[in-house]
Structure 1
C-alpha cells in the first residue's frame, strides 16, 4: 500500500472487484478506564414508550437532544433482527462506556416500561447511536435494513461456475445450456486435472483466462475459416447449445469486454442485428478463405477476364461449377458467411438481440481489441523511478520484437488473462529475488494486470530475459496459484 492511497484507489490500481478487510480493535488507554464516565441508569424514560428520550449528547456540548422513538420500521423489520440487537444491548452499552467522546449519559433499556416492544427498544438504540455519531464525528455504520430484500437489491447476484482446466468449453456449454440464468455477475472456480481447486480468487483475471481457453477450443472444434471464421453446422450441436455459446458471448462482453473477434463481422452483424452490411461481406470473405484462394479472388474482383482457368480449381471448393462475372463472387461470399450458418445466427440472435451494440461500435471494437506491438507498448506502465532503467528497456525491446501475432497474444494472456486488448494498462513491477533461489522467472497477476520481473535480469544480457519469457509463453499448461 502506497502512502496516501485510499482503498478505492488501491482496488482500481490492482483491478480488484473484491476487497478482504480484517479489522483489529483494541483499547489504547487501559490505565485510564477508571476515569471514564459511567452510564447513569437513575433516569427513567418518559411514561409512554412513544415519547422522545432526552439525552446529553456528549462532553463539550451544552444542548440536550430529543431522540424520538421511530415507528416506521416497527412493522417492517424482521423479528430476528430485533432479537439480535436486544440480545446484545449490554454489549452495546459496555462499548459506549469506553468512549467518552460519544456520550456521557444514556438510559438503560431495562428502565423502559415493560409495555415497550422490542422493536421500539431497537429504534431507541439506533437513534441514540446516530445522534452520538453525529455529535462526535465518529463513523456510523448504518442501522439495520428495513427489509432484507432492500439490501439484496443493491448487491450483484453472483453465480459461481465450476470448470475444469482443459475442459472449459465443454463445462461452460453444459452450464449455460441448462436454461436461463438470471444473475447479474458470474465468477469462476477453476479445478485442476486432479479435481482440486486452483488457488485463485476471481477478480476478473480468472474469468478472462477461462474465456480465452473457451474461444481457442471453440474456434478449433466448431468453426471453419482462416483469419475470420464462421460456425459450422454439426448434427451433435442443438439449438440450446448454440444459445449457450451466445450466452458466453454476452457474459464475456458485458462483464470483461471480451468479444470473439475471430468470428466474421458480417456473420456477427447477422447474429446481433438480424441483418448484415452487404458491402462488408466481401471484406470478411477474403479473410475467411485460405490465402491462396484470396489471391485468386482479389485478382478476379480487379480484372475478371485475366484470371482465366485459374479460378476453376478454387470454385470447386465452394460447389460452384461456372463463374460468369465478379458478381458471382459476392454471391459465394454471402452463401458461405450468412446462408450456410443461418441456423446458428438465428440461435445467437435470440440471445444477443438486446446486446448494447451498434454496427459502428462493432467495427471500432474489432479494431480496438486486435493487439499490436504498438498498442501493448503504450499499455505498459513502469514505476516512476525505473522508467529509464536498463531492465525497463529490456521489457520494451522484448515486446517490440513480438512481430508474430501469436507471441503477442500469448504475452497479453500471460499478463491479463485475455489474448485481446481488453485492458488499457499493464503495470510492470520489478521484484527482488533471493540469489540462492534455483528458479528465476517472470510472474503475473492477471486480475490486476500486473507483470512482475526480477531485477536480477538487469545483470544479464537481454537475450536471457527473452529466452526465459518465451519459454514460459510456449508452455501451454497454465495454472492459477496466486491469490
Structure 2
C-alpha cells in the first residue's frame, strides 16, 4: 500500500480535480482507492490532525516491504534484542536518516518517520483533496468508518468466489464443469491476480458489485475466450474446455495482457 504519488507537474487545480473524481467514484459507486493508506484517506477527509498514532502505524506497516515491516513490528512490540540493525539502517537511510537512534528513542523515531512519509510529504496533495472532499462524504467521518469501508471493499478469494452466480440454475454437465473450473481458478489466485480478474469482470479492482453473472457459450478453437461485460458484471464463459489446465492457461493469457493498465494517473 502506498502513500499518494507525487507528481511535481500537477498544480493545485489539477489535484483538486483528481479529488473530485475520487468523490464521484465514491458517491456513484461507493468505491475508494484502497491502495492509498487509510491514514492518507482520513487526513483528506478530516485533516492531518485526525490521524492518531494507531492508524498511522498500521498504515505505515502496510506501506513497508515485508522485511522492513518485520523489523518495525519487532520495535513496536518491544523486542529490541531481535532487531536486525542492518535492515533498520536501510529503512532509515531510505527515509533520509544516515544513522540509527538509540534503542530508547527508536520507536519515537519510527513514528516521526511514518508521519513524514504518509502525511508530511504529500501534505500539498492532502490539502487539495481536502478542499474537494471535506464534508462531501459524511459517512467517512471516523477512523472506524474508513476501516470498515476498506475491509468491505478489499477483494478476497472467498468474497469473489461467492459473487459468482450462474445465470441459469439448471446447468448441463459441460456448463457445470466450466463453472467448477472458474471457482477453482478464483480460489487459487494471489491478491494481484485476483484484483486483475475482478477488474476484468466488473471494471474495478475493488468490490463494487454484488455479483458476477456467468453465462455460457460453446466457442471453440481460436475463437474461444471468456468475454466480460463490465457494465453489468456479466462473464460469458465457454463450456468447451476439456480440462482445468486448459481453462487456467487460457484465462491466464487473457488476464496477463496490458489492457488493464491504467497509466493516466
C-alpha contact 1:386 1:392 (8 A) present in aligned 2: no
Equivalent residues in 2 for 1:89-104 (5 A)?
Answer: none
Correspondence for 2:192: 406
- 1:297 corresponds to 2:75: no
Distance in 2 between residues matched to 1:261 and 1:380, nearest whole Å? 22
Length-normalised TM-score, structure 2: 0.86
Equivalent residues in 2 for 1:127-166 (5 A)?
Answer: none
- 1:279 corresponds to 2:64: no
Q: Rate the CA distance shift 1:465–1:278 in 2: closer, same or farther, 3 A.
A: same
Q: Rate the CA distance shift 1:380–1:303 in 2: closer, same or farther, 3 A.
A: same
Correspondence for 1:328: 109
Equivalent residues in 2 for 1:1-400 (5 A)?
Answer: 228-274=1-47, 275-303=50-78, 305-306=80-81, 307=83, 309-310=85-86, 311-320=88-97, 321-324=99-102, 325=105, 326-354=107-135, 355-356=137-138, 357-359=140-142, 360-382=144-166, 383-386=168-171, 389-400=176-187
Q: Deviations over 1:85-132 (max 9, x none)?
A: xxxxxxxxxxxxxxxxxxxxxxxxxxxxxxxxxxxxxxxxxxxxxxxx
C-alpha contact 1:415 1:426 (8 A) present in aligned 2: yes
Q: CA deviation at 1:391?
A: 2.2
Q: Structure 1 residue runs of 4+, over 6 Å off?
A: none
Distance in 2 between residues matched to 1:330 and 1:425, nearest whole Å? 41
- 1:469 corresponds to 2:255: no
Q: CA deviation at 1:408?
A: 0.9
Q: Secondary structure at the match of 1:428?
A: strand
**Higher RCO structure, 1 or 2 (CA under 8 Å, sep 6+):** 2
Q: CA deviation at 1:467?
A: 1.2
Distance in 2 between residues matched to 1:247 and 1:387, nearest whole Å? 48
Aligned length: 246
Unmatched tracts of structure 2, length 5 or more: 261-265
Aligned residue among 212, 218, 226 for 1:442: 226
Q: Secondary structure at the match of 2:216?
A: strand
Unmatched tracts of structure 1, length 5 or more: 1-227, 479-483
Q: Secondary structure at the match of 2:223?
A: coil
Quick check: which one's helix share is greater? 2
Higher-Rg structure is 1
Q: CA deviation at 1:279?
A: 1.7
Q: Rate the CA distance shift 1:234–1:426 in 2: closer, same or farther, 3 A.
A: closer
Distance in 2 between residues matched to 1:431 and 1:233, nearest whole Å? 46
